[in-house]
């Protein structure tokens, strides 16, 4: 492997490839920061420009855009409570809470450092075990995915810091929103009310920008007496020793979790940060700090999403099976260059594979160098008066969304979901369970149907697979632990009084 | 000759000279190709791949404008309603001109009244594939197994045309094949390779990496005649199963676009797609068999395809919605 890595670095460190890597990281950071504009649209527009460069150069740049966007997305999430990318949704919860209490710089630094650590680890994983790990995708059947998603939905309830009942309702609303669109099997329109732009369902970024971004601005406008949402006083930029100590273990766990979930097709990369957040909250001795600016809740999920963003290259390269839309685009780019991804990549195009692996590490280093000095600049954005900042944020949201599909309806829906988010807030519901329910609802339904059809309607299919059974039991246990903590806590308090 | 008739004649002459002059000047500004699917999808990528050549041929910039939504209906409707001056065109695939009119109760555009054919680019077949370790060596094996074990065969689908392909195959083969909904070709391929699905219909671009790695076998394709790049793969039709469900990538214009403009565009597309080896190779990489037609041929093709798909869709039991 050392020899292979040396080969990789010799490829990645060539002047052209370094430049392409930097270019990719810069573009990625930019589109990550801008809400709405995502790596899918960007990469597809830039794709024709990659035909002229070498295959390894084009994959280095496109990969840089993808993981660069993961870095950039958290900046928006932390500073203005809007997910720059769908994968930075969870970072909002504690990252923004940190920013509100004057620790914006620390939150940004933790996110960047956590991502870097995760990126380094994921690079090693890809280099060391891409080939065997690719097979993980074959191990899971529809019934296993169904069980995994049930577990994910239980996360929605654990995520909540308030009423459990309201979290369940929010997750269900999210799941119902995910059914909007044309049913694939029967062609029936579900909850589209004849609106053409709903035929293909609701886009997650529209929903997220509405219930987080727009709703947040509305909320702040309403409560203008308590206006300094973002502290004028920014605080120290660098995390304190205490914060570093709290963040270290979550980064390690988030990295491992993200590396595994990134291998799974479909919602793996989106699920990773949620899973990390829930795990940190569950094992924390002080779960009540979560949602109020716990550094663990920033560092863990950020590490998880960056690790997943890199290990999701494994199924693409080792099996030729792109696990998400961005990987599918990169598959397209490689195909044009005459390279068919698959197990033969390792032996047939070693300089391509190892060059990409080495460039990923270099790219992560570049992102760290780009992001850390920028923290001061980002944070100073918070000093912009709200009367200027809010219209600017709204404008960016609108431009970002409009640039993707150019449908005015998308903007109307974002505004409508903003009102919905505001109402939810008024009635004490939280947005994260709703978003998680939405993200997972679609896969829940399709895997459920698929499993039953493949098993010819036999319900026992869900308990015949050991993986499914383990995952379902885990979900049950977690649910029980969440539903009855009052009993446990009550007892603990009684014991304490004795 | 009445004054009225004379006026009509003058108008007609003016109109024709105006039209002629227009065609000579055309194109005077950039031309937009609306693509009714997501950026990065098949048609979008194909059009971006052809941009250079089109710019050279037409002497103007080419803009590829993805307008996805409502399974292609939103972008198609936007192009259908655009000013018919040859500067807004629609680049699409069979799903919007052969399938949508038969699947949508209330389509926002009329394929035959609002749009006119411009040029064809290429046809891409669905491929009937099995995993490399599958016991099925030929289509006959699949059909024999399906007949002997009713309900044991299953195929994945993720869009209407795959669904219609599988259902039609089952119908003409007289085998009962279950349909399993999937989100996309990749998830389906994963389950095929893992042994959870016995057969699958997929496109060339999805099959190529697995084919290169020796993980799958292609048993047949759903095209009328064997494409140039798949000379060794039989078509279902020649094996006696009348399943022709390939997708045509093609260009349309708003209905009232002047004929000279349509002819100019058809001429350029025919030249590029028919003779430019570089472009032809790129199209084949995308699984497209480069295909050219005259305006009249293409118009007849659209009409016959709509009728053919209407029949297959009805027999597959899909309802309009």
Cβ of residue B58 closer than 8 Å to a chain A Cβ:
no
Residue B45 and residue A186: Cβ atoms within 8 Å? Answer: no
The conformation of residue A198, written as its DSSP 8-state character, comes to: G
Judged by a CB distance cut-off of 8 A, whether residue A196 touches chain B is yes
By CA distance, what is B178's nearest residue in A?
A453
A441 min Cα distance to partner chain B (Å): 13
Sheet holding B289-290, edge to edge: B62-66, B31-35, B88-93, B247-254, B115-124, B289-290
Task: Retrieve residue A118's tokens.
Answer: 């995760």
Taking phi over 0 as left and psi of -120 to 50 as alpha, with beta for the rest, B37 belongs to beta
- B48: closest CA of chain A, how far (Å): 6
Chain A residues near residue B286 by CB distance under 8 angstroms: 335
Task: Indicate yes or no: CB of B212 within 8 angstroms of CB of A450.
Answer: no
Is the pLDDT reported for residue A439 higher than 60? yes
Q: Using CA atoms in the order A52, B27, B25, B298, what is the torsion angle rounded to 10 degrees?
A: 110
A40 close contact with B: CB closer than 8 A = yes
Q: Percent helix, strand and coil across chain B, each rounded to 5? A: 50, 20, 30
Summary count for chain A: helices (H), strands (E): 25, 2
Question: What is the separation of C-alpha A146 from the centre of its chain, rounded to a whole number of angstroms?
Answer: 20
pLDDT at residue A334, as a whole number: 82
A63: nearest Cα among A73, A55, A51, A52: A55
Domains in chain B, ordered, with CATH? 3-124+247-315 (3.40.190.150), 127-230 (3.40.190.10)
What is the reported pLDDT for B21? Answer: 45
Neighbours of A96 (CB within 10 A): 24
**For residue A380, what are its two tokens?**
């100073």
Q: Is the pLDDT of residue B199 over 60?
A: yes
Q: Determine the Cα–Cα distance for residues A146 and A26; give it in Å rounded to an integer.
A: 38
Residue B248, classed as helix, strand or coil, is strand
More confident residue, A356 or A197: A356
Phi-psi region of A342 (alpha: psi -120 to 50; beta: other; left: phi over 0): left
The residue ranges of DSSP E strands in B71-215, in sequence order, are 88-93, 115-124, 127-131, 153-157, 177-181, 200-202
Q: How many residues does chain B have?
A: 321
pLDDT at residue B103, rounded to an integer: 87
> Which residues of chain A are within 8 Å of residue B155 when distances are taken between CB atoms?
none
Share of chain B above pLDDT 70, in %: 92
Show Cβ contacts of residue A194 under 8 Å, excluding neighbours closer than 6 positions.
B106
**Measured distance CA(B153)–CA(A498) in Å, rounded:** 67
B159 interfaces chain A, CB cutoff of 8 Å:
yes
A287 touches chain B (CB under 8 A): no
pLDDT given at position A498: 41
- Taking phi over 0 as left and psi of -120 to 50 as alpha, with beta for the rest, B129 belongs to beta
The pair of three-digit structure tokens given for residue A463, joined into one six-digit string: 């308990």
The per-residue pLDDT of chain A, averaged, comes to: 84
Q: What's the CA gap between A462 and B106, in Å, rounded? A: 40
State whether B73 and A196 contact (CB < 8 Å): yes
Confidence of residue A135 (pLDDT cuts 50, 70, 90): confident
Q: How many angstroms separate the CA atoms of A203 and A209, rounded?
A: 10
> Given an 8 Å threshold on Cβ–Cβ distance, is A47 in contact with B70?
no
Residues 106-135 of B with CB under 8 A from A: 106, 108
- The verdict on a CB contact (< 8 Å) between A342 and B40 is no
- List, as one string, the DSSP characters of A41-81: HHHHHHGGGGTTS-HHHHHHHHHHHHHHHHHHHHHHHHHHS
Residue A475 has pLDDT above 50, yes or no: yes
pLDDT-based confidence at residue A383 (cuts at 50, 70, 90): confident
**pLDDT per residue as tens digits for the range B109-134:** 999 999 999 999 999 999 999 999 99
Average pLDDT over residues A261-269: 78
The ipTM is: 0.76
With a cut of 50, say whether residue B1 has pLDDT above it: no
Residue-wise over A34-66: b if at least 16 C-beta within 10 A, else e? bbbbbbbbbbbbbbbebeebbbbbbbbbbbbbb
pLDDT band at B24 (very low <50, low <70, confident <90, very high): low
Which residue's entry shows tokens 């998830």? B187
- Enter the pTM of the model: 0.80
Residue A188 in tokens: 């029936």
Pair of tokens at residue B300: 């007849």
The per-residue pLDDT for A484 is 75
Tell me how far apart the alpha carbons of residues B165 and B171 are, in angstroms, rounded to a whole number: 10
Supply the pLDDT for residue B239: 95
Question: For A322-380, how does the pLDDT look when each residue is reduced to its tens digit (9 = 90+)?
Answer: 888 788 788 878 877 778 777 777 778 888 989 999 999 999 999 998 888 888 887 77
**Residues 424-463 (A) with a CB less than 8 A from some CB of B:** 442-443, 446, 449-450, 453-454, 456
pLDDT at position A22 is: 95
Q: How many CB atoms lie within 10 A of CB A282?
A: 14
What would the mean pLDDT of A64-80 be, rounded to a whole number? Answer: 90
Contacts of A138 in chain B (CB under 8 A): 190, 193-194
Look at residue A228 in the predicted model and tell me its pLDDT. Answer: 46
pLDDT of residue A230 exceeding 70 = no
Q: Is the pLDDT of residue A234 over 80?
A: no
Contacts of B158 in chain A (CB under 8 A): 184
Burial of B46 (0-12, 13-18, 19+ CB in 10 A): buried
pLDDT of A225 higher than 70: no
For chain A, percent of residues with pLDDT exceeding 70: 94
> Which range has the worst mean pLDDT, A136-145, A229-238, B180-189?
A229-238
Closest partner residue to A344 (CB to CB) among B73, B212, B286 is B212
d(CA A290, CA A298): 10
Q: Residue A495's pLDDT band (boundaries 50, 70, 90)?
A: very low
Omega within 30 of 0 (cis) for the link into A424: no
Write the CB contacts of A193 (distance below 8 Å, at least 6 apart in sequence). none
**Residue that wins the pLDDT comparison between A221 and A365:** A365
Report how far Cα A430 is from the mean position of its chain's Cα atoms.
Answer: 18
Mutate to test the interface with B, among A136, A184, A263, A320 (most CBs of B within 10 A): A320
B104 in contact with A, Cβ within 8 Å? no
Residue numbers of B between 235 and 274 with CB closer than 8 Å to A: none
Tokens encoding B236 = 């279902």
For residue A199, the chain B residue with the least C-alpha distance is B70
Of A45, A51, A196, the CB nearest to B39: A45
**What tens digit of pLDDT does each residue of A282-326 get?**
888 888 899 889 999 999 999 999 999 999 998 888 887 888 878
Q: What are the DSSP calls for A11-39, one per residue?
A: HHTSHHHHHHHHHHHHHHHHHHHSSS--H
DSSP class of residue A151? H
At B222, is the secondary structure helix, strand, or coil? coil
What is the reported pLDDT for B264? 95
Does pLDDT of A412 surpass 50?
Answer: yes
Name the DSSP letter for residue A228: -
Report the interhelical angle of A15-33 vs A2-12 (nearest 10°): 80
Q: How confident is the model at residue B11 (pLDDT cuts 50, 70, 90)?
A: low
| Residue B252 CB coordination number (10 Å) | 26
Residue A65: pLDDT above 50?
Answer: yes
According to DSSP, the residues that pair with B248 across neighbouring strands are B123
Q: What is the pLDDT of residues B206-248, one digit of tens each?
A: 888 888 889 999 999 999 989 878 889 999 999 999 999 999 9
**Residue B295 touches chain A, beta carbons under 8 Å:** no
Instruction: Tell which of B39, B109, B155, B316 to mutate to test the A interface (max A CBs under 10 Å).
Output: B39
Which single residue is written with the structure tokens 């039953």?
Answer: A452
- Using CB atoms within 10 Å of the CB of residue A460, give its burial: 0 to 12 exposed, 13 to 18 middle, 19+ buried: exposed
* For chain A, domain boundaries: 2-497
Considering only residues A492 and B135, tell me which one the structure prediction assigns the higher pLDDT. B135
Q: What six digits make up the tokens of A186?
A: 């029967």
CB contact, 8 Å: B229 with chain A? no
Strand ranges (E), chain B: 31-35, 62-66, 88-93, 115-124, 127-131, 153-157, 177-181, 200-202, 216-221, 247-254, 289-290
Please state the rounded mean pLDDT for residues A458-487: 85
Residue B321, chain A, CB below 8 Å: the answer is yes
């Amino acid at each position: 492997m050392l020899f292979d890595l040396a080969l990789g670095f010799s490829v990645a460190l060539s002047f052209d490839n370094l430049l392409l890597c930097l270019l990719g990281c810069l573009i990625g950071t930019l589109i990550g920061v801008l809400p709405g504009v995502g790596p899918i649209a960007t990469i597809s527009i830039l794709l024709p420009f990659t035909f002229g460069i070498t295959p390894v150069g084009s994959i280095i740049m496109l990969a840089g855009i993808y993981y660069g966007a993961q870095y950039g997305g958290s900046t928006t999430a932390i500073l203005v409570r809007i997910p720059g990318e769908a994968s930075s949704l969870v970072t909002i919860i504690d990252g923004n809470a940190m920013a509100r209490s004057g620790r914006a710089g620390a939150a940004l630094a933790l996110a960047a450092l956590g991502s870097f650590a995760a990126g380094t680890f994921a690079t090693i994983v890809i280099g060391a075990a891409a080939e065997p790990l690719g097979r993980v995708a074959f191990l899971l059947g529809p019934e296993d995915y169904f069980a995994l998603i049930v577990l994910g939905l239980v996360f929605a309830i654990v995520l909540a810091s308030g009423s459990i009942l309201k979290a369940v309702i929010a997750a269900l609303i999210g799941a119902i929103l995910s059914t909007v669109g044309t049913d694939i099997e029967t062609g029936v329109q579900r909850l589209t009310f004849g609106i053409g732009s709903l035929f293909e369902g609701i886009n997650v970024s529209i929903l997220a920008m509405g219930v987080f971004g727009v709703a947040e601005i509305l909320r702040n406008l309403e409560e203008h007496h308590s206006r300094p949402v973002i502290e004028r006083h920014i605080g120290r930029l660098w995390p304190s020793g205490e914060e570093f100590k709290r963040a270290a273990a979550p980064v390690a766990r988030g990295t491992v979790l993200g590396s595994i979930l990134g291998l799974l097709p479909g919602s793996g990369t989106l699920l990773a940060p949620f899973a990390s957040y829930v795990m940190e909250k569950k094992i924390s001795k002080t779960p009540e700090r979560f949602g109020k600016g716990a550094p663990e809740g920033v560092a863990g999920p950020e590490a998880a999403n960056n690790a997943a963003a890199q290990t999701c290259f494994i199924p693409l390269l080792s099996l030729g099976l792109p696990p998400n839309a961005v990987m599918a685009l990169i598959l397209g780019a490689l195909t044009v260059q005459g390279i068919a991804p698959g197990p033969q990549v390792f032996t047939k195009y070693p300089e391509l594979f190892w060059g990409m692996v080495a460039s990923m590490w270099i790219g992560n280093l570049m992102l760290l160098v780009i992001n850390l000095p920028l923290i001061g600049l980002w944070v100073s954005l918070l000093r912009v008066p709200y009367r200027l900042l809010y219209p600017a944020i709204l404008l960016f949201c609108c431009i970002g969304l409009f640039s993707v599909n150019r449908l005015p309806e998308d903007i109307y829906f974002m505004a409508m979901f903003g009102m919905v988010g505001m109402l939810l807030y008024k009635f004490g519901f939280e947005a994260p369970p709703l978003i998680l329910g939405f993200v997972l609802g679609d896969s829940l339904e399709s895997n459920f149907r698929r499993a039953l059809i493949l098993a010819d309607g036999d319900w026992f299919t869900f308990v015949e697979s050991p993986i499914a059974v383990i995952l379902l039991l885990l979900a049950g246990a977690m649910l029980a632990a969440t539903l009855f903590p009052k009993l446990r806590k009550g007892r603990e308090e009684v014991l304490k009084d004795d | 000759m009445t004054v009225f008739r004379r006026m009509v004649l003058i108008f007609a002459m003016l109109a024709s000279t105006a039209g002629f002059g227009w065609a000579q000047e055309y194109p005077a500004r950039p031309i937009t190709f609306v693509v009714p699917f997501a950026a990065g999808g098949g048609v979008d990528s194909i059009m971006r791949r052809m941009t250079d050549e089109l710019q050279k041929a037409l002497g103007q910039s080419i803009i590829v404008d993805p307008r996805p939504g409502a399974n292609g209906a939103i972008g198609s409707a936007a192009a259908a309603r655009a000013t018919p001056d040859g500067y807004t065109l629609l680049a699409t695939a069979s799903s919007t001109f052969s399938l949508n009119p038969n699947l949508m109760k209330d389509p926002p555009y009329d394929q035959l009244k609002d749009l006119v054919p411009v040029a064809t680019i290429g046809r891409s077949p669905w491929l009937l594939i099995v995993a490399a370790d599958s016991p099925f060596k030929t289509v006959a094996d699949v059909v024999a197994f399906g007949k002997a074990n009713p309900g044991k065969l299953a195929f994945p689908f993720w869009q209407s045309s795959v669904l219609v392909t599988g259902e039609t195959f089952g119908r003409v083969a007289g085998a009962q094949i279950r349909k399993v909904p999937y989100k996309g070709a990749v998830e389906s391929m994963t389950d095929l390779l893992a042994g959870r699905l016995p057969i699958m219909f997929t496109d060339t671009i999805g099959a190529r990496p697995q084919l290169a790695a020796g993980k799958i076998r292609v048993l047949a394709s759903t095209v009328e005649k064997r494409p140039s790049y798949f000379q060794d793969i039989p078509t279902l039709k020649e094996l006696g199963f009348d399943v022709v469900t390939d997708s045509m990538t093609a260009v349309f214009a708003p209905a009232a676009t002047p004929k000279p403009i349509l002819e100019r565009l058809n001429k350029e597309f025919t030249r590029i797609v028919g003779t430019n080896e570089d472009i032809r190779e790129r199209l084949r990489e995308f699984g497209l068999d480069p295909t050219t037609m005259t305006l009249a041929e293409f118009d007849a093709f659209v009409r016959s395809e709509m009728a053919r798909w209407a029949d297959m869709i009805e027999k597959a039991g899909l309802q309009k919605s």
